[in-house]
Chain A
Amino acid sequence: GAVVSQHPSRVICKSGTSVKIECRSLDFQATTMFWYRQFPKQSLMLMATSNEGSKATYEQGVEKDKFLINHASLTLSTLTVTSAHPEDSSFYICSARAGASREKLFFGSGTQLSVL
């Protein structure tokens, strides 16, 4: 089946620094990618929808200047957490879809971000 690769799997950073997370579709072209975050013992929360070549669409309450999303190619989307703070510590997960909205989503393995 299709594979979505997410990197890094774990990152620890100091407060105030920026962290970039990469999401790649390895064997298909992803016209749409989604970014989620998940706090302990909670469900996944959708942060934004990323379409190749256009600006991301953010969910209500998600700061677009805080969480920069770039989807520059059909196989790569990046999420940059800018000026990270301890409250940004979370599990970030990307997902990708190959074609139409009825196609299933494939998920990356997630990135555990810890901000000290």
Chain B
Amino acid sequence: DAKTTQPPSMDCAEGRAANLPCNHSTISGNEYVYWYRQIHSQGPQYIIHGLKNNETNEMASLIITEDRKSSTLILPHATLRDTAVYYCIAPLYNQGGKLIFGQGTELSVKP
């Protein structure tokens, strides 16, 4: 029941920027978009979140379109360690803020 859709897989060359898209055309005006990633056999790791302004932290940048129907996670200089499954999620605030994970995007960073 995820309200987001992502491409199932992407490749990126090491050292280049990885741009991961996410469509969330049905989220409401007060719902944040969160990004997590999961490296094989580990728990998910928080990356970044935003509402309507672009956000940047030490890990990534998040670009949200003005109509809030989509966003892009940018890893500016991808490394091999960034190979993971990336999840774009909108929490269900009317259900305690639980996160329902979709299938995510499997990013492969190649040398």
Residues of A within 8 A of B (CB): 1, 4, 6, 32, 34, 36, 43-46, 49, 51, 57, 91, 93, 95, 97, 100-110, 112
B6-46 vs A, CB cutoff 8 Å, 1 = contact: the mask equals 00000000000000000000000000101010100111111
25 interchain pairs, CB-CB under 8 A: A4-B43, A32-B97, A34-B98, A36-B101, A43-B85, A43-B87, A43-B103, A46-B99, A49-B95, A49-B96, A57-B96, A95-B43, A95-B44, A95-B99, A97-B97, A101-B93, A101-B97, A102-B91, A102-B93, A106-B46, A108-B43, A109-B42, A110-B42, A110-B43, A112-B41
Residues of B within 8 A of A (CB): 32, 34, 36, 38, 41-46, 49, 85, 87, 91, 93, 95-104
Please determine whether B101 and A34 come into contact, CB atoms closer than 8 angstroms: no
Please determine whether B101 and A43 come into contact, CB atoms closer than 8 angstroms: yes
Please determine whether B97 and A107 come into contact, CB atoms closer than 8 angstroms: no
Residues of chain A within 8 A of B102, CB atoms compared: 43
A100's contact among B38, B45, B97, by CB below 8 Å, is which?
B97
The closest CB in chain A to the CB of B99 belongs to A105
Docked Cα-Cα span, A4 to B44, in Å, equals 11
The closest CB in chain B to the CB of A91 belongs to B41
Q: How far is the CB of A94 from chain B (nearest CB, A)?
A: 8
B49's contact among A36, A104, A107, by CB below 8 Å, is which?
A104
Residues of chain A within 8 A of B100, CB atoms compared: 46
